[in-house]
Chains A and B, each alone.
Chain A
Amino acid sequence: MKLISFIPEDTKIPFMGARLITFPISMILVTLSILSVAVIGLNYGIDFVGGTVIEARSKTGPADLARIRTELTELAIGEVQVQEIGAPEDVLIRLGQLEGGDLAQQASVDKIKSTLGDGYEYRKVETVGPRVSADLRRDGFIAVVVSLALVLIYLWFRFEWQFAVGAVLTTLHDIVLTLGLVSVVGIGFDLPVIAAILTIVGYSLNDTVVIYDRIRENLRKYKKMALPELIDASINQTLTRTIRTSTTTILAVGALLAFGGEALRGFNFTMLAGIVIGTYSSIVVSAPLLIFLNLRTGGKSDAKADTAEAGA
C-alpha cells in the first residue's frame, strides 16, 4: 500500500550520546547568531524605523536605475536606495526617516513621484512616520513578550517545571537562531517577520510538546529505565512523526517561498527557517536538555551520574 518510505521506522539513533556533539554545535550557533545580530544587526524595515518604500514599475521597458538614483539624490531628501525588484522594469525605492517628521516624509513622496514622472506606475507606496514606527516597535515587542509569557504559563500548568524550562530554553534557542539567520541573510525585519517568529514559537513548541508527552508517558511506563535511555527511546519513537510533520509543513511553506511572490518573501523565509530550526532543536536540544534539569526525582542517581558524565 505504501508507496514511499523516506524515513526508516523504528530507528535507534543515540541522540543522547550525540548531545556531546550537538550541544556544542547549538551553543556555537547561538553565539554566532547573537554576534550577528549585534554586529551585522537586523535590517529594520520602515515598520520599525520609519521611512518610505516605493515600488514602481516602468511603463516603458527596463527602468534606468542609475538615472533614477542621480535624480533622486539631487532632491536632497536624505539617503535614497534604488534597486531592482523581481523584474528589470520594477524599481524599489527606499528612503530613511527624515528630519522634518511626518510632513517632510509626505513631501518627499510627492517629490519622488514628480521626479519619476508619468512613465511609472506605482505598485506600492508605504510611508511610516516616526510616531507610528515607535508604536509598532512597542506593539511588536509586547506581542513577543506576551506570547512567550502566555506559553510559559501554559507549560507551567501542563508540565513539571523541568519540561517547562526545557521548552522555554528550546524556544529561545529557536528564536535566537532564526534572528541570527535573518540578520545574516539581511531579510527586512518588519511586522510580518515578527508574526513569523511568533508562529515559530507556537510551532517549535508543538514539536517539543509531542516529544515531552512521549517522555512523560514512558516515565510512567518504564519506571526502571535509565533516563538517557528512556529519552533516546522517546525521541526515536516520535522521530517518524516529527520528520513527517515537518516535511509537510516545509513543503507547504516552501511552496509559499518559491511561488508566493516578492511581497511576503521575508515572512516566508523566516517561517521556513524557523520550522527547520524548530524541528532540529526539538529533536536534539529539547529532550537532551531534560538531563541537565534533573528530571525524575525517582531516578536521581541516573540523572546525577549522567550530568557528571556530561561534564567530564
Chain B
Amino acid sequence: MLHFPRWKIMLIIASMVASVIFVIPNFLSRETLSGLPSWVPHRQLTLGLDLQGGAHLLLEVDTTAMVKERVEVLRDDVRRVLREEKIGYSGLGVQGGTTVQVRITDSAQVDKADTKLHTIPQRMSDALFSGNSVVDVEIVREEGGVFRLTLTQAGLDYRQRRVVEQSMEVVRRRVDQLGTTEPIIARQGGNRLLVQVPGLQDIERLKDILRQTARLTFHMVEATGPQVLEGTRPADTDVLYSHDDPPVPVLVQKRAMLTGEELVDAQAGFDSRTSEPIVNFRFNTSGAQKFALISQQNVGRAFAIVLDKDVISYPVIREPILGGSGQISGNFTVQAANDLALLLRAGALPADLTVVEERTVGPGLGADSIAAGKLATAIGTVLVVLYMIGNYGLFGVFADIAVVLNVVMIMAILSVLQATLTLPGIGGIVLTIGMAVDANVLIYERIREEQKLGRSAISAIDAGFSRAMSTIVDSNLTTLIAAIVMFFLGTGPIKGFAVTLGIGILTTLFTAVTVTRLIVALWVKKVRPTRVPI
C-alpha cells in the first residue's frame, strides 16, 4: 500500500497543481482575467442568485385560454364550411369544453356535409414522436345528421407545447432587451418557464414586461362615445375602451385588419410637434401593402390601435398611408414608450403568463451571505485543522493538508464545470470539510489499533489504510446516494447543495485516502519510523 510508482506520484501531484491553477481565476478580478492570454483558465465560480442577488421568476403559461380559443375557432370553421357549401344546419354550439356539435337540417345534404367537415382536421407533424403526425380534430357522425367534432388530446398537447415554446422565445427576446447579463430562461415541467436574471433589481419592471401579452391589432372604428353602449350592435363588432380618463367606449370591427405580427420594427421616440413620447413602428412589405390599401379606402374614418384589448389611440386617417410606417401616441411616459416599443419588437405572447413563484435577492443580502459563508468556512476549517493536529499531531497535519487540497479541488471542479455555487452549496463545502477528515480518522484509528496488536510501524500503516478502505467507501456511499437524490429532485439552492456535497465526497475519497497515503509514504521513506506517532 505504501509503494507508489513514480508515474502515480506525478499524476497525483499534477492533479493537485491543475486544481490550484483552475482555482486561481476566482481570486482575480474580471479585468485582470481579460488581460491574460487565452490559454490561461478563465472560468470563475458561477454564483447562485442567493449569493449575487437577482430575480428568479417561475411563470406559468395559461393554456386553458388556448383550448377555449381553439374550440371557438373550430366552431367558426364549421360555420364557415357549412355556409360556403350552403348546407342548412341548426344547434351549432360548444359542448364540454372541447367539442363542437352541429345538426344538418336537410338529410339529403348529410353526406356532403360529412365530406366537407372532414376538410377541417389538420395533420400536424410531431417531431417529438419521431415524425408521427397527429390529427387535431376527431369527427363523429351520429344519427339524425348530428356531427360531433372534438379537439383531440394529442392535438391539444401539440399546440400546448408549441404555445409554451413560442412563449419561451418571446420571453427570451423581451428579457434580452432589458440588457442584463446572462439571463437564464428555461422550460420547467409541462407549461412553466423559469426566468433568472442575475443582478436585476427592478423586478417590478421585469414582471410588467413579462405579464403583458402585447398583442397589437389594428381595427376599423365604427363609432365612439357613450352611445355605442346603447341598443344592439352588429355581431362582428366589439366594444373596447380607450386609455383616456374616463375611458371612452370605442366600437370597433372584431376582425383585425392588421396585427403586430406584421411589424418589423418599433422604436420609442418623440413627436416632432408636441415632443411627447411616442412609438414609431414599421410594417413589413405585406403589412405595408395592406395598410396602404386600407387607408386609401378609408380616408376620413378612424382606426383603433389596440394593445391587449385596450385602445391606445384611435386616429382618423387623413390621407392614405403608403410608406408602411406610423406612430402610436397615447400620453406615454418615456419609460412606457420604451417598454411598449420593446414589447412590440419582441412580439406578442401566444398565451397569458402568470407569476407562480418569485424569489428576489438584493445585492446587499447576497454580499452579506457571501461574507458570512466565507467567515463560517474559514472558522470551520481552522477548527477542524486545529482539532486534527491536536488529536493526531504530525498525522493530523497530513490530514489537514489533504483537507485544504480537498477544498481547492472542490472549487476547481465547480469552476471547470461551471456549476452554480449557492448558499447551501457553501454549507455543503463546510460539511465536506467536517466529513472529509472522517476518512483520516478511520485510517488513523485503525493504524493505532494495528500497532497495538504488535505490528511494526510500516505494517500497521499498511494494514490501517487497506482495512479502513471498505468502511470509508461504504460510509461515503450513503451520503452520495442522498446527494444524488437531492440533485435530481431539488430546485435551485438544494441542487447547489447536492452538487458541492456530491463533488465533495468524490474529492474526499481522492484527497483523504490517496493524497494522505502518498504523504505518509513519503514520510515513511524519509524517516523510516519504528513507531507511528498516533
Are A143 and B486 CB-contacts (below 8 A) given A248-B437, A249-B435? yes
Of A106, A126, A256, which is within 8 A of B430 by CB? A256
Q: Which residues of A have CB within 8 Å of B474?
A: 158, 209-210, 213
Q: Which of B442-495 contact A (CB under 8 A)?
A: 442, 445, 448-449, 470-471, 474-483, 485-486, 489-491, 493-494
Are A249 and B354 closer than 8 Å at their CB atoms? Answer: no
Are A198 and B376 closer than 8 Å at their CB atoms? Answer: no
A228 at the interface (CB under 8 A from B): no
Interface flags for A252-290 (1: CB within 8 Å of B; 0: not) read: 111110111101100110010000000000000000000
B299 at the interface (CB under 8 A from A): no
B322 at the interface (CB under 8 A from A): no
A1 at the interface (CB under 8 A from B): yes
Are A123 and B361 closer than 8 Å at their CB atoms? Answer: yes
Are A252 and B384 closer than 8 Å at their CB atoms? Answer: yes
Q: Which of B319-374 contact A (CB under 8 A)?
A: 354-362, 364-365, 368-369, 371-373
Interface flags for B499-534 (1: CB within 8 Å of A; 0: not) read: 001000000000000000000000000000000011
Q: Which of B367-411 contact A (CB under 8 A)?
A: 368-369, 371-373, 375-377, 379-381, 383-384, 387-394
Are A127 and B357 closer than 8 Å at their CB atoms? Answer: yes
Q: Which residues of B have CB within 8 Å of A263?
A: 50, 365, 369, 372, 423
Please, how many angstroms separate the alpha-carbon atoms of A148 and B302 in the complex? 69
Are A258 and B438 closer than 8 Å at their CB atoms? Answer: no
- The interface residues of chain B, by DSSP majority, are classed as helix
Chain A interface size, under 10 / 10 to 19 / 20 to 34 / 35 or more: 35 or more
Please, how many angstroms separate the alpha-carbon atoms of A253 and B380 in the complex? 7
Of A1, A6, A142, A209, which is within 8 A of B471 by CB? A209
Please, how many angstroms separate the alpha-carbon atoms of A205 and B494 in the complex? 21
A sample of 10 more A-B contacts (CB under 8 A), given A3-B389, A124-B362, is A213-B470, A245-B442, A252-B430, A252-B433, A253-B380, A253-B430, A259-B376, A259-B379, A261-B369, A263-B423
Please, how many angstroms separate the alpha-carbon atoms of A199 and B500 in the complex? 12
Shortest beta-carbon distance from B426 to chain A in Å: 8
Q: Closest chain B residue to A191 by CB distance?
A: B494
B70 at the interface (CB under 8 A from A): no
Of A139, A241, A261, which is within 8 A of B445 by CB? A241
Interface size for B (C-beta < 8 A) is: 79
A223 at the interface (CB under 8 A from B): no
Shortest beta-carbon distance from A290 to chain B in Å: 17
Please, how many angstroms separate the alpha-carbon atoms of A3 and B397 in the complex? 12
Instruction: Identify the stretch in A12-20, A24-32, A65-73, A129-137 within 8 Å (CB) of chain B at 4 or more residues.
Output: A129-137
Are B424 and A202 closer than 8 Å at their CB atoms? Answer: no
Of A110, A127, A206, A249, which is within 8 A of B204 by CB? A110
Q: Which residues of A have CB within 8 Å of B379?
A: 255, 258-259
Shortest beta-carbon distance from B442 to chain A in Å: 6
B contacts, CB < 8 Å to A: 50, 58, 60, 189, 203-204, 207, 354-362, 364-365, 368-369, 371-373, 375-377, 379-381, 383-384, 387-394, 423-424, 426-427, 430-431, 433-435, 437-438, 441-442, 445, 448-449, 470-471, 474-483, 485-486, 489-491, 493-494, 497-498, 501, 533-534
Are A251 and B359 closer than 8 Å at their CB atoms? Answer: no
Are A122 and B360 CB-contacts (below 8 A) given A3-B393, A199-B501, A240-B445? yes
Shortest beta-carbon distance from A267 to chain B in Å: 6
Please, how many angstroms separate the alpha-carbon atoms of A205 and B387 in the complex? 24
Are A192 and B493 CB-contacts (below 8 A) given A201-B482, A206-B438, A245-B437? yes
